[in-house]
Amino acid sequence: MIFSVYLITCIFFLILVNNYFIKKKILLNQTGDSHQKLSTKIQVPLTGGAFILLSILFYLNQYEKIFIASIILIFLLGIFSDIKIVKSANYKVLFQILIVGGFVYFSNLQLYGTRVLIIDELLENNFFNIAFVTFCILIVLNGSNFIDGMNTLVLGYFLIIAIILFKLNHYNGLTFEIKDHLMIIYFMIILFFFNLKSKTFLGDSGTYVISFLFSIILIKFYFNNPLISPFLVVLFLWYPCYENLFSIIRKFKFNKSPMDPDQNHFHQLIFIFLRKKFKLNITNSNNFTACLINFFNLIIFFLASLIPSHTQGIIFYIVLCIFLYTFVFLKLISLKLSKKI
């Protein structure tokens, strides 16, 4: 009963806040931004992060205080980024390191048993372990922000991960306390439809919160199920991680700062291709792009969930994802440079 009342109250709260923000022109997306203008031409409230945060606060007594403090801080950093108080990408990364690194240190969140000998040996050093875990979470954090250019892309991606974790728990007998995250998943589903209709965007605050949350969930999922391959977690997060690393490499190649935004991200190229090739409007191109990418990941994640302990098989799926991403990207960027799309 409390669960339902809280959920309904938060939905009405989201609607009221969105209407107020639109009326007062507070915390709205920048329609001229090179990364956001492919989503919509109207201004939309960036309140998705606050909505997800409300779902986490429902479990206030179940989470560690350091986690609650860290996720509130990472949310506030996202808000300051959304309203342009923190503009410099360098400052954003610095604050991310302080928040995430502080959480990893004080929560004693460590990684062991990666099944890569040299990394496992290095992880025995406490300082390297903290730095490595912090680095991994930061890659997911910023990679998720990179892919947040299409409605439902980020939300759909992490919802798929939640569905596969539930499947592993229900059918494979692995430990994933779904009841501890049920409110969060319900909130994400509701937010998915708000996002689909361009009523709410995640913004930096939303992508920071959801990617930080799922990074911790997946690390703890592996801790609770040491028999699964650690590469299953890598596979689940392959897209934001590879998007981040690949974007840095390609920007260096073209003598650009890795912090500078552009329209050459994977999802943006697919969006442009679909729009030009099939004469679709912005909304349909947006929805089809997110659907294509997430449907591909759903298939890969489902197939991998059938062999959760088979490291070689899961590595094959990781390599397949990276190969297909790179192949499609190079094909689309060549078409764009030749002005064929």
Is residue 6 over pLDDT 90?
no
Measure Cα distances from 14 to 9, 21, 53, 137, 155 in Å: 9, 10, 12, 28, 17
Question: What is residue 173's predicted lDDT score, i.e. its pLDDT?
Answer: 58
Amino acid at 96: Q
Q: Is residue 33 part of a domain?
A: no
Which stretches of the chain are DSSP H helices? 2-24, 48-57, 65-82, 89-106, 117-123, 126-147, 153-171, 182-196, 203-224, 230-236, 238-253, 266-278, 282-305, 311-337
Q: Is residue 269 part of a domain?
A: yes
- Cα four-point dihedral sign 67, 68, 74, 78: positive
Task: Retrieve residue 72's tokens.
Answer: 């509130």
Between 169 and 150, the higher pLDDT residue = 150
Please report the pLDDT score of residue 91 as a whole number: 93
Question: Is residue 324 included in any domain, yes or no?
Answer: yes
Which two structure tokens, joined as six digits, stand for 96?
A: 């991310």
- Which pLDDT value is given to residue 3? 74
Q: Is the pLDDT of residue 316 over 90?
A: yes
Q: How far apart are CA 17 and CA 33, in angstroms?
A: 23
User: Which residues does 179 contact at the CB level (< 8 Å), separation at least 6?
Assistant: none
Residue 35 lies in a domain: no
pLDDT tens column, 322-336: 999 999 999 999 988
Question: Quick one: DSSP state of residue 338?
Answer: T
DSSP state of 178: G
- Enumerate the β-bridge partners of residue 168: none
Query: Is 80 exceeded by the pLDDT of residue 149?
Result: yes
DSSP structure class, residue 179? G
Q: How many domains does the chain have?
A: 1
pTM, full prediction: 0.93
Can you give the pLDDT at residue 132? 95
Q: Which residue range(s) make up the domain with 127?
A: 2-27+40-337
Q: Which of 98-107, 181-190, 245-254 has the highest mean pLDDT?
A: 98-107
Mean pLDDT over the full length of the chain:
89
Per-residue model confidence as pLDDT tens digits over 126-146: 999 999 999 999 999 999 999
